[in-house]
Structure 1
Amino acid sequence: MTTRRQGFKAPLLLMTGLLLGCLPACGAASAVSAPIPRAAETLPVSPWQSAAVPKRIIQTKVGLPQQAGVTPAARTGIKPVVRPTPVPTAAVVYLQAPDFRLKDQNDKLLAYSFPKGKPSVLAFGDQKGSDQLDGWIKPLYARFTDQVDIDGVAELSAVPGFARGMVRGIMGSLVPKPIMLDWDASVSKAYGYKGGQAAILVINASGGIVWRGTGAVTQTGLDEVARLIGQLLQAA
C-alpha cells in the first residue's frame, strides 16, 4: 500500500495497511457482538488435505521366494485389496480459538468471542508479514462477502511505547476498517503466531480452529480455504 505521504512507508504502518487496509467491512470484531508450507505448510487440519495420502494396500503374504521385477500379485495371482481414504463429512477441529479483547486504531475496545453466527477468518500480520495478507483477504471477501467474518490483528510489539499514539493516529486516518492492535503480542502468542510472515486461520462458528496457513498466498492454499469455508457454510 502506498500512502499519500511518500517516504512514510513505515514498516509497522504498512503492515496495518495490508492487514489492515485490505480487510473489507465484512466482519471486523464488534464492540458488543459477538490463534500453509507456508501455504503448503498447512497443518493437517482439514480432512481434504489428506487427498494426497496413499491408499492403504493390504497385501496377502505368501511363502514364495522373491523374484526380481515380479510383484507379489504377479507371483500369486492374488490382487491387492485397496481401501480408499474415507470421504470426510465434516471439518476436523484441532484447537479452540481463545476469546480476547483488543482496541482498534480508533481506541475502541473490540471483543472477539464465540459462538458466532457464521465462520470466521482471522488474519495476523507484523512488519514482515503484512505484505502477504492482501493476496489472501481480497479473494476470500470477493467470494464470500458477508457470509464470513474477516478480522485482522496487527502484531505491533516492535513499536516503542512513546510512538504508539502516533502510530495509532496515523492508522486511524489512513485505515477506515477496524484493526485490532496487539501492542504486547499477547493475543498473537495465544494463537501461535510467531511473526515474520502472515498467518490465516479459519474458525468455525463455535470457535474451533479448523485450518491454519502461513506465508504468501498460493492458489492451492486459497482453494483449500474456500472449499473448507463452503463446507462450514453448508453445515450451518
Structure 2
Amino acid sequence: MKKERAAEFELEDQFGKRVTCRFPKNRPSILAFGDREGAQQIEGWIRPIYERFGPSVDIHGIAVLREVPALFRGFARSQFRRRIKYPVLLDFEGDVTERYGYAAGKANVIIVDRNGEILLKETGPATPEKLQRIYRALESLL
C-alpha cells in the first residue's frame, strides 16, 4: 500500500509570523486542524501529546477559517491573538485544510513522519484508544 504524502504549506499565525511546513524535517509533525466546532476538541489531543513528547515533535494547530468573510479576517485574527497565546496557523483560504481532507465539525489530528509521509489520522474527540494509537505512531518515529 502506497503511503499518502503530506502537503507542504506556508501559513501565517495570529501574530503575523509566516510558518513553513516542508519535508524532510528533523522531527515528526502533528497537524491538528479545527473549525469552530472541532477547535473545542483540540486541547484533549494536544495537551496529552505535548506532555508525553514535548519538543521531540513539531505541533502545528491549524484553524479552519474558510467560512470567515474577507471583511472579518482582521477581527478573527485579533480574537485569536487576544484569546490564544501559543501560535495557531490561520487557514482563511481553506487550501491547506482541503489538501489534508479535513472532516468538518471535529478535530482532525494527523501524524506526519520526518520525510512527509502521513502515518495516521484521527478525528473527533480524543479517547484513550485514539491517544494510544497516536502515542504508538509517534514512538515508532522517535
State TM-score, norm by structure 2. Answer: 0.95
Structure 1 residue 93: deviation in Å? 6.6
Structure 1 equivalent of residue 92 of structure 2: 183
1:100/1:187 contact within 8 Å kept: yes
Distance 1:93 1:117, change over 3 A: farther
Structure 1 residue 232: deviation in Å? 0.8
Structure 2 equivalent of residue 109 of structure 1: 18
Any gaps of 5 or more consecutive residues in structure 2? none
Q: Quick one: distance in 1 between partners of 2:58 and 2:141?
A: 13
Task: Give CA deviations for 1:120-154 in whole Å, capped at 9, x if unaligned.
Answer: 11100001111111111100000000111111110
Which has more radius of gyration?
Answer: 1
Alignment of 1:1-236 (within 5 A): 94-233=3-142
Q: Quick one: distance in 2 between partners of 1:227 and 1:122?
A: 16
Instruction: Please tell me the residue identity of whatever aligns with 2:116.
Output: G
Any gaps of 5 or more consecutive residues in structure 1? 1-91
State TM-score, norm by structure 1. Answer: 0.58
1:93/1:210 contact within 8 Å kept: no
Task: Give CA deviations for 1:10-33 in whole Å, capped at 9, x if unaligned.
Answer: xxxxxxxxxxxxxxxxxxxxxxxx
Instruction: Please tell me the residue identity of whatever aligns with 2:21.
Output: Y
Structure 2 equivalent of residue 10 of structure 1: none
Higher strand share: 2
Displaced runs of 4 or more, over 3 A: none
Higher helix share: 2
How well do the aligned residues superpose, as a CA RMSD in angstroms? Answer: 1.3
1:93/1:208 contact within 8 Å kept: no
Corresponding residue pairs, total: 142
